[in-house]
Structure 1
């Protein structure tokens, strides 16, 4: 007998009235229920979500990982499977259909599903530079997975069993302008600076969920490369990162909009992270012990 393949979706929101209807409408054909975990939006996010049948809960935001983990531990999730989708994302009909088919027929020890992460920047879908298809675990069996506890660049992990890959797109297409984008990434850079220092000083062992493996899956390989990146000299590494993405991985084939993306995401953002790291080190007189004590304090308050 076929198992129930309907899914409980978890969507984290804050002031997402521009995106939330598009997101939820893409989920509805495959949803047993949709949970919107809102960080006290001041716009119409909740009104729109509830109007489309979503269940909404308000909870203070600390970071993406903790917000998602709070949701799966505290909400009365009915589905046997949980699919995490950001508010500015949507899933293709093909992806939803393939995942539900996989859930209905997969082996009992399959507890996680990889799907493609696609990025659309100012209306253009990136195809090169290593940005696509970039498979990530987005679907987990309830009780067998969670988000790894990282302040930035967190991934879903499974606690036991195996994973499978479904060739379908979960598309990230934010509709806000570049002023909003750069403001958001300025805030991201502050969190990423802490994340990079934690990796550099090997202080994030208890937060690790995705193993760093050169010959592992896409997420494991990226984690392996990021660990090496964290040990490279400040300000040199953004140049190398941009060159690898834009030249070696053929990002230049993504045209003018791709060029804007690779400069902003592949150089400007990474350079800003390094500048914030340098600022923190300078503020602590380049005393590694003082900086580690500060980072340890941040970890304690975020738990």
Structure 2
């Protein structure tokens, strides 16, 4: 009924928890690895996954390669990151809902529940975050963007599932900050309008899309605001107006790093880039 695609690169710390959450789903699990040097592949193989290797260019191209080349024979596909896991309630919901889905429904959005330093980040506008993660085979592709790429359906309607995916990376804070430094380089390209393969923004669907709304705000409000000032304002909106302070000490660290430091770093990289071109 369902195939799950997981992209990996040195995910030995996260993959066992991810795969354990899928055990009772009875799904075909495909792991697409891009050159791991740890025992990611061994973990996936021992868990009964079908493992494939493909060089990594960017996240969107890797997902689309998987969609187009994996031997998927099930009517539904799900995309899952290695540091994510399904709640037991979502597993049960998928098993009962997918076989009964009307033909006009071709995709499902799920809520992502982010954990940071062991704490669920509930506030600051971070929950619920709706993501289209389940779609009918042959009808979904990933838009080519540097950041925040989403699955786009060629036809049909989107419905919402009730239960959550949990996002909890087990690699520690140093990995998290290093990752966001790399994300910042991609974010610069995204904010400056550098396209991949000259592809337009495809997130324009006929259903309510939280992702579409957030992208509009990012492009038309945040993207047009003064460098550096917007990082301060964004953090204040998340931490004060969005009640991020209710997430405790872990929330302070998360909202400051993700909502201010990261955004300030992006602006610093943009400033440096523009300065070097003068």
TM-score of the alignment, normalized to the shorter chain, above 0.5: yes
Which residue number corresponds to residue 270 of structure 1? 263
Hey, what's the Cα distance between the residues in 2 that align with 1:132 and 1:37? 29
Q: For the Cα contact (< 8 Å) 1:246–1:252, is it kept in 2?
A: yes
Which of these residues, 168, 177, 183, is aligned with residue 188 of structure 1?
A: 183
Q: What 5-or-longer segments of structure 2 have no aligned partner? A: none
Hey, what's the Cα distance between the residues in 1 that align with 2:137 and 2:273? 40
Which of these residues, 237, 243, 247, is aligned with residue 240 of structure 2?
A: 247
1:161 to 1:61, Cα distance in 2 relative to 1, 3 A = same
- RMSD of Structure 2 on Structure 1 (CA): 1.8
Q: What 5-or-longer segments of structure 1 have no aligned partner? A: 1-5, 286-303
1:106 matched to 2:98? no
Which of these residues, 152, 160, 167, is aligned with residue 157 of structure 1?
A: 152
Which of these residues, 136, 143, 150, is aligned with residue 141 of structure 1?
A: 136
Which of these residues, 54, 57, 73, is aligned with residue 59 of structure 1?
A: 54
Q: For the Cα contact (< 8 Å) 1:212–1:222, is it kept in 2?
A: no
Q: Return the structure number with greater relative CO, CA threshold 8 A, min gap 6.
A: 2
Q: CA deviation at 1:51?
A: 0.2
1:48 matched to 2:43? yes
1:181 to 1:141, Cα distance in 2 relative to 1, 3 A = same
Hey, what's the Cα distance between the residues in 1 that align with 2:96 and 2:236? 40
Q: For the Cα contact (< 8 Å) 2:146–2:196, is it kept in 1?
A: no
TM-score normalised per structure 1: 0.87
Which residue number corresponds to residue 25 of structure 1? 20
1:85 to 1:124, Cα distance in 2 relative to 1, 3 A = same
SS of 1:198's partner is coil
1:129 to 1:205, Cα distance in 2 relative to 1, 3 A = farther
SS of 2:57's partner is coil
Q: CA deviation at 1:115?
A: 0.6
1:203 to 1:244, Cα distance in 2 relative to 1, 3 A = farther
- List per-residue Cα deviations over 1:89-132 (Å, max 9, x = no partner): 10111112112322111110211100111100010001111111
SS of 2:17's partner is helix
1:220 matched to 2:215? no
SS of 1:85's partner is strand
Q: CA deviation at 1:148?
A: 1.1
Equivalent positions of 1:109-120 (< 5 A) are 109-120=104-115
Q: For the Cα contact (< 8 Å) 1:114–1:166, is it kept in 2?
A: yes
TM-score normalised per structure 2: 0.95
Size of the alignment, in residue pairs? Answer: 277
